[in-house]
Amino acid sequence: MHKKKYLFNSSLKDLNTFGIDVTAKKIIVVKTIKSLIKIVQYCKLSHIPYLILGEGSNVLFLENYIGIVIVNRIKGIKIIEQNKFWILHVFSGEKWHSLVKYSLNLNIFGLENLALIPGRIGSAAIQNIGAYGKEFKDVCLYVDVLSLKDNDIKRINANLCQFSYRNSIFKHQFHDYIILAVGIKLSKKWNPTIFPLLKNYVNFKEITAHKIFNIICKIRMNKLPDPKKFGNAGSFFKNPIITKKQAFKLTSLYDVPYYPQKNGLIKISGGWLIQHYQFKNIQIGDAAIHETQKLILINKKNATSKEVITLAKIIHMCILKKFNIFLEPEIDFIGSIGKIDPLDIFY
């Protein structure tokens, strides 16, 4: 492999959107499945920790990583036309937003509600990304993975991926599998996914996929912090999902926004809980709560992971004490040798 792909003891600051300045023993960019297999085999045989990283938009590095960070840039998009559907086979190193733009330019509609979500295709499947009434699971047909046990490529149908709110089988299980590609199924008969904010921007009779795309890009750019200005990983916490009994008790005491789910549970606004706790100008070092989007923690300049975690712990414990609601982190915490359970950090 070409030497330019190897970076020794290099900073990961530009490889995580939080902008945390930690290092890895080695950073390797991979562009083919063959090179990915070769590097992972080397790591396993040499007992060296390794981490697959896409955009670094959903991680918080807690300390220097002692292993190899493999940056996934395996790219490619194949389009299969059927009578009623388009099938997009997309490799995991492609940028999600680039895929959304690419499909729209080909007049293939259905991904417009997921515009401007950061990250690569692989993390879209792991996180089951979602926004404005649409989730990845709504369009996913299959996920292709590399089994590290036998270097075999396996296809997992979407109904076996256990997709749920910001979750999938890939987040907690399948540790010996790496996502290589996904299959996305989009109907040729386009039906817009309408969300309440749309009525403020456009007449429904004139709605098009391109208009929804432009509206969502405008909304996201106006309300979300630019990682180039303030490091962040999007929502630090998930919106809590609670039982009807818990929701009834909470809504009888507070005017908290809530959203009934198909499974009978209730999603409530985590941002509202933080907003109405009324933290007074709370800031730990350069780690702070975003002014308008309260689920987002930001790095104002040179925040350390310790400062971010200290702030997150304070928020978590205060919300638990006042509302009896458990705020679960949405991002992944990465220690010196790999992923760490949030419970081991918070408690």
Q: What is the pLDDT of residue 8?
A: 61
Q: Angle at CA 54, nearest 5°, toward 339 and 3? A: 105
Answer yes or no: CATH 3.30.830.10 is held by domain 3-72.
Answer: no
Amino acid at 5: K
Q: CB within 8 A of 308, min separation 6: which ones? A: 18, 20, 60, 284, 287, 297, 299
CATH 3.30.465.10 spans which residues of the chain?
77-223
pLDDT score of 196: 80
The model's pTM: 0.92
Judging by beta carbons within 10 Å of its beta carbon (0-12, 13-18, 19+), is residue 101 exposed, middle or buried?
Answer: middle
| Top-confidence residue, 329 or 194 | 329
What is the assigned CATH class of domain 77-223? alpha beta
The pLDDT of 264-275, averaged and rounded, is: 95
E-assigned strands of the chain? Answer: 6-11, 23-30, 50-53, 59-61, 65-72, 77-81, 85-91, 130-131, 134-135, 140-147, 152-157, 177-187, 241-242, 258-260, 266-268, 283-284, 287-289, 297-299, 332-334, 339-340
CA 129 to CA 11: how far, in whole Å? 27
- pLDDT at position 62 is 97
pLDDT at 202 over 90: no
- 22: tokens are 């930690």
- Neighbour tally for 74: CB within 10 Å: 22
Instruction: Please identify which residue in the block is written with the tokens 């194949």.
Output: 78
How far does the chain reach from its first CA to its final CA, in angstroms?
43
Mean of per-residue pLDDT scores for the chain:
93
Q: What is the CATH number of domain 241-330?
A: 3.90.78.10
pLDDT at 3: 43
Res 110 pLDDT > 70: yes
**Strand-pair partners of 145:** 154, 179
CA 114 – CA 131 distance, rounded (Å): 6
pLDDT for 170 equals 93
What pLDDT is recorded for position 90? 98
What is the set of active-site residues? 166, 235, 330
Spatial CB neighbours of 320, under 8 Å, sequence gap ≥ 6: 326, 327
- Name the residue with higher pLDDT: 118 or 263: 118
CA 8 to chain centre: 27
Higher pLDDT, 34 or 3: 34
Placement of tokens 């005017």 in the chain: 255
59 touches 343 (CB < 8 A):
no
The 10 Å CB-count burial string (b at 16+, else e) for 199-209 is eeeeeeeeeeb
pLDDT of residue 1: 42
pLDDT tens per residue, range 305-343: 999 999 999 999 999 999 999 999 999 999 999 999 998
Q: Where are the alpha helices (DSSP H) in 51-208?
A: 96-105, 121-127, 169-172
Mean pLDDT of 105-116: 97
Residue 135 pLDDT: 96
Residue ranges, comma separated, of all CATH 3.30.43.10 domains in the chain are: 3-72
Phi, psi of 322 (to 5 degrees): -80, -45
Query: Is residue 98's pLDDT more than 80?
Result: yes
